[in-house]
Structure 1
């Protein structure tokens, strides 16, 4: 069942092709399922498929044990369609990889449109530094579940 207030995440949401967005989505009950390497790799494969299908152009991402930060330039479709497809495909991939057949992702997602004048590389560095801030590693290079077009 959706938590009260989830509908507010969608209120006023606007999707604009070619616009830059920082997307964040969380696993159900913040379960740290991506500590499992095959589960993380299966999810990353689905993330990359979104680029191959021209739904978006990924600029940076980090897959944390219980959530994903994803910096994109939106391609065809809407943010909702992109996230729905990603969550659905990644859930199916996780089930095939042996994950329990339960809801993987929390309903909804957070998005933030970025202005062109913002330093996009600074946002990317912030994303990539997430494992350091979480105390998982000392340096970004020690964490294997991230990528960035500039680094």
Structure 2
């Protein structure tokens, strides 16, 4: 339950953080990937912390959860972040190509450009986003286990 709550909390808190930074309210952030804090990191660290409370830090289950958390957070800052950077470049290349074709063939009457869906660029996280997500997850589990359980 702590891990699930951490996901929802981290996803929700992205909205006011984004608003404070840009003065734009974007409710789509609640269901998107990427951004501050990382809900993936919050979930796996909350899970680890909850398992530590339930079974102890010397349990095999805690060891498995910790390795799982490290893999998820490494992936969030590595592969997924780089995939997001590539998506930005590919989207720019597609836009440049579309502009080139439109200029050379004068496609001003065509509306096919509107039907082309851009690749998602917010796939991964910066290290600070993963770190803050991890702190969020740990804090939520500690709060739950020290006040509720």
Q: TM-score, normalised by structure 1?
A: 0.29
More helix by share: 2
Q: TM-score, normalised by structure 2?
A: 0.29
More strand by share: 1
